[in-house]
Structure 1
Amino acid sequence: MNNRTEGRRPRRKRKWTTQRKNLHIATWEGVPSTIFQVLLQGQFLTGFLLYLGATSGEIGLVLALTTLVNIGQIAVAFFIQKLESRKWALVLFIGLQRVLWVSTGLVPFLFPKPYWVTAFIGLYALAFIVNTAGGMLWSSVISDLVPPRVRGRYFGIRNTMLNALGSIVVYAGGIVLDMYPGGKGFLIIYIVVWIFAALNIAVFLFYPDVHFEKSDESKFLPMLKKPLQDSLFIKSTLFLSLWLLLQNVTVPLYSYVMLQLMDINYRTLSLLNVTQTVFMMASFYFWGNLNARYSNKRLLFWTLPIIAVSSLIWGLLSVLPTLAVLLTAHVVFGVGVGGFNQLAFNFIIGDTPKKERPMYMATYAALTGVAAFFGPLLGGKIYEWIAGWPHSIQVYGLQLVVGGLMLVLIVLIGRRVLRDY
């Protein structure tokens, strides 16, 4: 017998614990969810609305709706305290939201052309009204499912994997729409969407019904007062709401500017979005390492100037090649927004009391949602107002104004609110 073989110890298989199984399910649930959501958002949402005949103002309204309905999460946070089981409520609301959302693809087949945009907005609004319950329930379940000691690492790995998948899907979707422009391309996209939405609902059936540590309060107003009376939390949340209002004036409408005003094709737009996602994924590791040394709030502050600079970079379109400027702007924005999203989530689920976390989450979602609602709504209207202005102002003028206002907001308020105490 080989001596080297004799000296080796047999490898022990890692024990498949209930906790590992639950995390595995939560990770794989994100795969079909990412595929169908990527194909229903961003450039694909904007492109489909343009195909339906929507104006920039109507596109801004659609982009804003998803955040406005978050105010309903406050009521949901109270009512979930009455549930004996969160799992089946989660499956019900998630399933209904998925069906309503993907049904927007049936609009051209079910309604006369003059009503396409109205019908789309109606279905889309219903889907995200239902999502106030589904989203709140998922956030509550996932925060209890993932242990605090592995939370940073787990979400870092999960986000990286799903964003990598999303990048591939974005690029593939862009190729499909360039190969099959108009209704045929969107029909293919929606067939894929229906398949993966159904798979996503199916995977939720395997989610565990984890223990729910309920609030000490049983009445609505005392429960709501907990986050409202937390001065550090509420000041930070109000500031971030104002920030998202500014950011959403331009960022959700980038696809509209590039598709409608700059005549950029879907494949190029997909490459830009993939590049942004790649740098956002890389930034998860960067911000995660910094998070081991610095607080969530301090790092959140550091992400803000990066996002502001990404908006100002658009002004370089006046002197530099278009693709180089757009690529740089997307790279910088990816680094900044990757950190912002990750740290804002950690701030909500890590820096808040566990028993009161649903109401803290709901309060944050409601305040930031109302503010973010007015961003794309205002941005869409501004693009309508400046339709007759010089082309250069339409393309990058608003980004320069918003980037400048962001820097002012950082200096005047941000450094005071997001400091460590």
Structure 2
Amino acid sequence: MNIMRNKPPGSRPGRVRKASLHRRNLRIATFEGVPSTIFQVLLQGQFLTGFLLYLGASSSQIGFVLALTTLVNIAQIGVAFMIQKLPSRKWAMVTFIGLHRILWSSTGLVPFLFPQEYWVIAFIGLYTIAFMANTAGAVLWSSVISDLVPPRVRGRYFGIRNTLLNALGSLVMYGGGIVLDRYPGGHGFLILYIVVWIFSIANVIVFFFYPDVPFEKSEEREFLPMFRKPLHDKLFMKSTLFLAAWLLLQNLTVPLYAYVMLELLHINYETLSLLNVSQTIFMMGSFYVWGNLNAKYSNKRLLLWTLPIIAASSLLWGLLSVLPMLLVLFAAHIVFGVGVGGFNQLAFNFIIGDTPKKERPMYMAVYAALTGLSSFFGPLIGGEIYEWIKAWPHWTQVFGMQLVVGILMILLAVLLGRRILKDE
């Protein structure tokens, strides 16, 4: 009788089934991240820069490639409108993500398919098409995952998922660095690309197991009214424009760190991998801290707190003038890991948690377009500046840029950040 009085018949099994379904979906989303992490770690960052240098790219060409992935985000605005017409998000997501994985992996075939004088151009062509496909895939995945993860566990889930996948990424990054040091040149990159081809296929296969979750569509049916929704949201636009300005500054130097260390400081791949692993380890630790703080404070307030940490990591490069090189580089990478780990996690939570559910794809697209545009010009301008200052004293190329950018970051955070990223 007590049982009947406390619980209606049939209520508990329903909740158990629902909870079990949520857990299954979250496990699939986590497991999908494993081949995705391996695939992406070996194709970006230091390995991307190293492969471009092997192909014969200049610093300005490297800057262009690093910036390209964010420029194509502008197309997400059109994709956000088109997905409202789709009967199923899942199969469109599988199609575009599959195209991205296949085309990006195909860049490893460039030395085998083209004359050497066309290597860089061929790489840029394949890379561009791959990330055009990824533009659609990213909107679809963000839309699906925001519906897949219940709001009450979102902060904790992404904190745990990011920690696990970054731990895996650290091991892969270190292993990849060892391979390139043991087998320099084309032989080493061929080994990495073989691993990439295996896990890119595995990643696409896992996406077939994603659930086709129901899609709560926008109330608007025309493009312009739907596009105006985020543009007329003053709080959202102020925050987004500020974050876009911040990313413009940050990307003047951060994407080119690997270029500075490989070309100007002559650091080997294994050491570079250790630096990036240390950054990732502290980024992982910060996920837990930022996640707990997020239970007490808003996304925007915590985003503000990450800014001086990121600026400090840039300023630390100036200590290369007085302290041992590796000590300074490890310190700068560790501090950056703590700051950017919080920034990325909180910015994502801000977009999927502080925006209207029905209009979320367009909000995501507008955010991605504006921050993508600024992130495109960041490394592009940075690469050109490095070309421009080649004849300047060596220190201006090694840490002078970082000092200037760090000071500008502090000024931006103090003068504008405190007013814009505040609780309303």
Supply the distance in 1 between the matched residues of 2:384 and 2:193 (Cα, whole angstroms): 29
223, 226, 236: which one aligns with 1:220: 223
Per the alignment, residue 249 of structure 1 pairs with 252
Supply the distance in 2 between the matched residues of 1:189 and 1:92 (Cα, whole angstroms): 25
Offset of 1:18 from its aligned partner? 1.7
114, 117, 121: which one aligns with 2:120: 117
Offset of 1:15 from its aligned partner? 9.3
Identical residues among aligned pairs (%): 77
Confirm or deny that 1:21 pairs with 2:37. no
> Could you give the per-residue CA deviations for residues 335-392 of structure 1, whole angstroms, max 9, x where no partner exists?
0000000000000000000000000000000000001100000010111111111111
**Paired residue secondary structure (2:87):** coil
Supply the distance in 2 between the matched residues of 1:97 and 1:15 (Cα, whole angstroms): 33
TM-score, with structure 1 as normaliser: 0.96
Per the alignment, residue 177 of structure 1 pairs with 180
Per the alignment, residue 81 of structure 2 pairs with 78
Offset of 1:401 from its aligned partner? 0.5
RMSD, aligned α-carbons = 1.1
**Paired residue secondary structure (1:320):** coil
**Paired residue secondary structure (2:392):** coil
Offset of 1:14 from its aligned partner? 10
Per the alignment, residue 152 of structure 2 pairs with 149
Confirm or deny that 1:311 pairs with 2:314. yes
Per the alignment, residue 284 of structure 2 pairs with 281
One-letter code of the match for 2:87?
E
Cα distance change, pair 279–110 in 1 and its aligned pair in 2 (3 A): same
Supply the distance in 1 between the matched residues of 2:33 and 2:413 (Cα, whole angstroms): 34
> Could you give the per-residue CA deviations for residues 6-31 of structure 1, whole angstroms, max 9, x where no partner exists?
xxxxxxx9998222111111110000
Offset of 1:158 from its aligned partner? 0.5
24, 29, 36: which one aligns with 2:39: 36
Supply the distance in 2 between the matched residues of 1:132 and 1:154 (Cα, whole angstroms): 24
Supply the distance in 2 between the matched residues of 1:155 and 1:409 (Cα, whole angstroms): 29
Supply the distance in 2 between the matched residues of 1:106 and 1:16 (Cα, whole angstroms): 45
Supply the distance in 2 between the matched residues of 1:328 and 1:312 (Cα, whole angstroms): 11
Supply the distance in 1 between the matched residues of 2:331 and 2:284 (Cα, whole angstroms): 16
Offset of 1:420 from its aligned partner? 1.0
One-letter code of the match for 1:333?
F
Offset of 1:402 from its aligned partner? 0.3
Per the alignment, residue 333 of structure 1 pairs with 336
Structure 1, unaligned runs of 5 or more: 1-12
One-letter code of the match for 1:404?
I
One-letter code of the match for 1:200?
N
224, 227, 232: which one aligns with 1:229: 232
381, 385, 388: which one aligns with 1:382: 385
130, 140, 144: which one aligns with 2:143: 140
One-letter code of the match for 2:112?
F
One-letter code of the match for 1:341?
N
Runs of 4+ in 1 over 6 A off after TM superposition: 13-16
TM-score, with structure 2 as normaliser: 0.95
One-letter code of the match for 1:95?
G
**Paired residue secondary structure (1:17):** helix
Per the alignment, residue 53 of structure 2 pairs with 50
Supply the distance in 1 between the matched residues of 2:120 and 2:84 (Cα, whole angstroms): 38
Confirm or deny that 1:103 pairs with 2:106. yes
One-letter code of the match for 2:280?
T
One-letter code of the match for 1:66?
T
> Could you give the per-residue CA deviations for residues 97-152 of structure 1, whole angstroms, max 9, x where no partner exists?
10000000000000000000000000000000111100100000000011111111
Supply the distance in 2 between the matched residues of 1:68 and 1:102 (Cα, whole angstroms): 20
One-letter code of the match for 1:292?
A
Supply the distance in 1 between the matched residues of 2:105 and 2:279 (Cα, whole angstroms): 26
375, 398, 401: which one aligns with 1:398: 401
Q: Paired residues, what number? A: 409
One-letter code of the match for 2:281?
V
Counting only pairs closer than 5 Å after superposition, residues 192-207 of structure 1 correspond to structure 2 as 192-207=195-210
Per the alignment, residue 8 of structure 1 pairs with none
Supply the distance in 2 between the matched residues of 1:233 and 1:169 (Cα, whole angstroms): 37
